[in-house]
Structure 1
C-alpha cells in the first residue's frame, strides 16, 4: 500500500509540475489581478448568489426571480466576453482533458478497458440477437 501511495504522490506532483497546470494557475492569477476580469467574475458570482437566495426563499417572488435571472444572464455574457476569462476557461478545459486522459490510462491499465469499452461489457459486438443496448 505504501508504494501505491508514494506513486500517487509522485503523479500528483507531476501534475502540479505540468505545463498545462502551471499555465492554468498563471491565468487564474492574471484574472484576479486584472480589474476588468475580476469585476466581471465578481458581478457574475454576485448575480448568481442573488438568484440562489431568491430560489431558496419560502416566499419566492416570480417577478423578482425573472429580473435576477435576466441580470445574471447579462453578467454571464459580460464575463464570457472577457478575453482573460475566456483564456482561463480554455486553460481549465486543457487541464480537464489532461486529467481525463490520466484517468483513461489508469482505467486501461487496471481493467484492460477504456471508458467506451465498458458500455458493452460482455458484448461480442453482434447486435442481431441482442436487445440489451438498443
Structure 2
C-alpha cells in the first residue's frame, strides 16, 4: 500500500511540474491581478450570497431574486469577455483534460477497459465486433 501512495505522490509532483499546470497557474495569477475582473467577481459573489440569504429566509421576493439573478448573469457575461478570464477558463479546461486523460489511463491499466468520451469503444475487444 505504501508503494501506491508513493507513486501517487510522484504522479502529483509530475502534474505540478508539467507545462499545462504551469500555464494554468500563470493564467490564475494574471486573472487575480486584473482589478476589473476582481471587482466583477466580488460583485458576482456578493449577489450570490444575497440570493442564498434570501432563500434561507423562507419566502424570498421573486422580483428581487430575478433582479439579482439577472445582474449575476450580466457580471458573468462581462467576465467571460475579458481576455484574462478567457485564458484562465481555457487553461483550466486543458488541465482538467489532462487529469481526465490520466484517469482514463489508470482505469485502463486497472480494468483493461477505457471509456470512450463519445460513447463508442469501451476499450475491451470482448464487447465489440470490430476495431476502429
**Mean Cα displacement is larger for which, 64-73 or 40-49?**
40-49
For 2:53 and 2:80, locate their aligned partners in 1 and report how far apart those are by CA, in whole Å: 23
Calculate the aligned-residue CA RMSD, in Å.
Answer: 2.2
SS of residue paired to 1:113: coil
**Corresponding residue number in structure 2 for 1:97:** 97
For 1:78 and 1:8, locate their aligned partners in 2 and report how far apart those are by CA, in whole Å: 39
- 1:36-51 matched pairs, under 5 angstroms: 36-51=36-51
For 2:7 and 2:15, locate their aligned partners in 1 and report how far apart those are by CA, in whole Å: 12
TM-score (norm 1): 0.83
CA contact (8 A) 1:24 1:95 kept: yes
**Corresponding residue number in structure 1 for 2:7:** 7
- 1:1-134 matched pairs, under 5 angstroms: 1-116=1-116, 123=127
Specify every segment of 5 or more residues in structure 1 that has no aligned partner in the other structure, as ranges: 126-134
SS of residue paired to 2:28: helix
Once the two structures are TM-superposed, the CA of residue 58 in structure 1 deviates from its matched residue by 0.9
Aligned residues: 126
Displaced runs of 4+ in structure 1, greater than 3 A? 122-125
SS of residue paired to 2:54: helix
CA contact (8 A) 1:37 1:79 kept: yes
